[in-house]
Amino acid sequence: MQFSAEQIAAIIQGKIEGDPKTTVSGFGKIEEAGKSDLAFLANPKYEDYLYTTAAGIIIIGEQMELKENISATLIRVKDAYSSFAVLMQYYQQMKAKQLIGIEDPVFIHPSAKIGKDVYIAAFSYIGEHVEIGNDVKIYAQVFIGANTKIGDRTVLHPGVKLYHDCLIGNDVTIHAGTVLGSDGFGFAPQQNGTYNKVPQLGNVVIEDHVEIGANTCIDRATLGSTIIKKGTKLDNLLQIAHNVEVGEHSVIAAQTGISGSTKIGKHVMIGGQAGIVGHISIADGTKINGLTGISKSITEKNTSLSGRPAMELSDSLRAMAIYKRLPELDKKIKELEILVAQLSKERDAISS
C-alpha cells in the first residue's frame, strides 16, 4: 500500500513542508529508512539523522527548527511520536481489513453465531453457542469455548485459548498463547493433609479497548467474574488470579503476579515482576515499581511505591542508599567495637 504526504497529513492533521505528492509504502527508523519509508523524529538525540536520512517523508514536531536544508518532505505535528503511532495503527487496520473469510479446516459449532467480515484462520475451534461480532480476526489454532461472546473488531492472535463463558468486548487485542478462563487456584486443605479442589464456576470479562500480551493467564472467578476493565493494557507473561478486578486504563508490565480477589483501581501503573497478595485493594493512580511486593491495601490515591515490602518511593530510595553502604558501615562498627574494647581495658587498668 502506498500513501502520499497529502493523505498522511490528513490522517494526523499535520502541515506539509515539501512535495505533497511524495509517496511512501512502509515505515523505517530515521537512521535506516529508505526513500519509500516514512520516519519520525521525536527524540532530540537523533536530530543529526534528520539531515542524513534517506526517508521519503518525516514526521517532526511543529516547533522544531531546522539547522540545514533537507530533501525529505516534512509533516509537522504537535506530537511526532503519537502521530507516528496513529499512522502505524491505521496501516495495521488497513492490512487487517484485507483478511476476510473462513479458511479450511476449522470447526464451527452449528449453534455459533458469526458476524460480518470475520476472518477465521485454519485449525481454529469455535464451540457451542459462541457469538462473534463483526470484523473480528481469529488467527490459527485459536480455541473458543462454549457460550463465549466476542465483540466487534477484536483480534485473537495464534494459539489464544478462551475457556467457556468468557465475555470479550469490542476492539480487544489478545496476543499469542494467552489463556483466559482457566481454573483459579482454589484448593481446600483437609484434616488428612490432602487438598480438595474448589470448583471454579465464574468467568472472565474483558471490557472494550483492552490489550493483553502473549502468554498471559487470567483465571476464571470462583463465583462471579474476574474483570479487566476498559482501556487497560497488560504485558506478556502475567498471572492474574480468580476474582481479580483491574480498573480502567491501568497498565501492568511483564511477569507480574496478582493473587485472588484483589481489586486494582483506575490508572494504576505496575512495573515488571511485581507481586501482589490476595484480598486487598490498590487505590486509583497508584504507581508500583518493578520487583515491588505489595502485602497490604493501598488506600491513598496516586501513591508511588517500591521495595519488598513496599514503601513510599522516596523512603525506598533512601533505604537503598543505606543498603549500599552496609559493608562500609559494618567495617566501621567493627573498628568502633575494637576501639571501645581497648578503651575499656585502659579504663580498668587505671581504676585498678
The residues carrying an active-site annotation are 242
DSSP-derived 3-state class of residue 65? coil
Asked whether the beta carbons of 60 and 76 are under 8 A apart, the reply is yes
Cβ distance 207 to 230 under 8 Å?
A: yes
Specify the residue for cell string 536544508. 69
What CA–CA distance (Å, rounded) separates 209 from 250? 12
Distance from chain centroid for Cα 286: 16
Query: C-alpha angle with apex 213: 137 to 150, nearest 5 degrees?
Result: 35
Short-list 134, 107, 145, CA closest to 123 = 107
CB neighbours of residue 102 within 10 Å: 15
CA contacts within 13 A on the Cβ side of 55:
27
C-alpha cell at 135: 470484523
Which grid coordinates belong to 23?
509517496
Query: Quick one: CA torsion of 210, 216, 222, 224, rounded to 10 degrees?
Result: 0
Q: Which amino acid is at 228?
A: I
Per the CB < 8 A criterion, the answer to whether 304 and 295 are in contact is no
C-alpha gyration radius of the chain: 28
Q: Which helix (H) or strand (E) holds 326?
A: helix 326-351
Phi/psi of residue 266, nearest 5 degrees: -80, 150
Kindly state the cell numbers that stand for 125: 475451534
Between strands 293-294 and 275-276, the pairing is parallel
- Are residues 242 and 260 in contact, defined by beta-carbon separation less than 8 angstroms? yes
